[in-house]
């Protein structure tokens, strides 16, 4: 099911590199390559582009993969939205990744933060310092220039809602090729998915396993029953659901065994798709769309507050 069935030639099954420590990043990236992943999702915010770059370059040098077979994405962080900062941020990512072009460059979130080297600028009360002096459209225009210059093949958005995608789509000279957002059976984002399908934009789901948070999707009885009935694991069922509904996805296995498990995805019977689509629980795990600052909200948090 790992098709490249989109105008970008992007493998639908992607490996995400949001991994906190350097050694784990190198090993997990290597295991992902060995399992067959060819799509790698990075970000300057993850502070591990150098380690991902090392693992990718080692595989290229060993002859196990060519640069052309790889699809590599990274993202512009919130502190670099000012037009004069975009190209330098892009080049710095490229250097850390040891690449001379990117397949995809995303604006990580629609929130501009105070420009500077501090990735998480806060005031004395601990509140994020936003930058009201730049719009998403201003930043997008410079992203377009990177495509013009041949430095990246495509550009896109992340952590945006439908209205924000529609605004950029309307004004853009080079249309967003990809929209990366949280999506899983508890947050299907159907309206955004329909918009993307209509406009030929790849919908790229992150947190397809609900960030692996337990209790959560991996223990949902509908998912575990389908897993038992099809001889798959709960993770494989969730990943298959995402691919089968026409999204691409990012997952972050850290061991070699899980990399093989998460790459070995086969179609689900239609009635299993129907049962998953009928799940009524709604839960967003990552609040980044509301603030620009990534963070998990534990399940039940809102219930406990009410
Ligand atoms: N645009 C954004 O703002 C944004 C935000 C978040 C993530 N992302 C991207 O999306 C990628 C995907 O991250 P995610 O956290 O959303 O991925 P995910 O695959 O939904 O969750 C990863 C978690 O699931 C666990 N896991 C992985 N494979 C498993 C399996 N086969 N069985 C059971 N548990 C399993 C892992 O646990 P262990 O830790 O035990 O291995 C890990 O904690 C990130 O790496 C990043 O590239 C983007």
Domain ranges of the chain: 13-305
CA of 33 to the centre of ligand 1 (A): 16
Q: What is the pLDDT along the chain (306 residues), one digit of tens a residue?
A: 778 878 899 999 999 999 999 999 999 999 999 999 999 999 999 999 999 999 999 999 999 999 999 999 999 999 999 999 999 999 999 999 999 999 999 999 999 999 999 999 999 999 999 999 999 999 999 999 999 999 999 999 999 999 999 999 999 999 999 999 999 999 999 999 999 999 999 999 999 999 999 989 999 999 999 999 999 999 999 999 999 999 999 999 999 999 999 999 999 999 999 999 999 999 999 988 888 887 766 555 444 433
Q: Are 168 and 161 in contact (CB under 8 A)?
A: no
CA of 12 to the centre of ligand 1 (A): 16
Closest C-alpha among 291, 274, 305 to residue 113: 291
The number of the ligand 1 atom at minimal distance from the alpha carbon of 181 is 1
Q: Cβ neighbours of residue 63 under 8 Å, at least 6 residues apart?
A: none
Q: 288: Cβ below 6 Å to ligand 1? A: yes
Q: 218: Cβ below 6 Å to ligand 1? A: yes
pTM here? 0.96
Question: Nearest residue CA, atom 7 of ligand 1?
Answer: 206
Question: Nearest residue CA, atom 32 of ligand 1?
Answer: 235
Supply the CATH classification number for the domain 13-305.
Answer: 3.20.20.100
Secondary structure class of 203 (helix, strand, coil): strand
Q: Are 250 and 238 in contact (CB under 8 A)?
A: no
């Amino acid at each position: 099911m790992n098709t490249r069935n989109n105008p970008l030639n992007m493998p639908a099954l992607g490996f995400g590199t949001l991994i906190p420590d350097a050694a784990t990043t190198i090993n997990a990236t290597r295991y992902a390559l060995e399992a067959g992943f060819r799509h790698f999702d990075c970000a300057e915010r993850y502070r591990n582009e150098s380690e991902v770059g090392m693992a990718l370059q080692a595989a290229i040098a060993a002859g196990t993969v060519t640069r052309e077979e790889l699809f590599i994405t990274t993202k512009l962080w919130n502190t670099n939205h000012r037009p004069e900062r975009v190209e330098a941020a892009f080049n710095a990512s490229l250097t850390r990744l040891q690449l001379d072009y990117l397949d995809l460059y995303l604006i990580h979130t629609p929130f501009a933060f105070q420009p500077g080297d501090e990735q998480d600028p806060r005031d004395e009360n601990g509140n994020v310092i936003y930058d009201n002096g730049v719009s998403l459209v201003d930043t997008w225009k410079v992203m377009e220039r990177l495509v013009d210059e041949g430095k990246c093949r495509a550009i896109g958005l992340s952590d945006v809602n439908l209205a924000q995608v529609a605004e950029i789509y309307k004004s853009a000279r080079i249309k967003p090729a990809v929209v990366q957002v949280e999506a899983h059976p508890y947050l299907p984002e159907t309206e955004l998915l329909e918009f993307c399908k209509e406009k030929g934009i790849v919908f790229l789901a992150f947190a397809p396993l609900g960030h692996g948070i337990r209790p959560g999707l991996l223990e949902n009885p509908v998912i575990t029953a389908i897993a038992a009935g099809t001889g798959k694991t709960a993770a494989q069922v969730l990943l298959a659901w995402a691919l089968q509904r026409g999204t691409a996805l990012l997952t972050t296995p850290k061991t070699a065994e899980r990399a093989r498990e998460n790459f070995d995805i086969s179609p689900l019977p239609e009635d299993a798709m129907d049962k998953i689509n009928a799940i009524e629980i709604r839960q967003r795990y990552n609040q980044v769309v509301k603030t620009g600052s990534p963070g998990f909200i534990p399940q039940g948090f809102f219930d406990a507050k009410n």
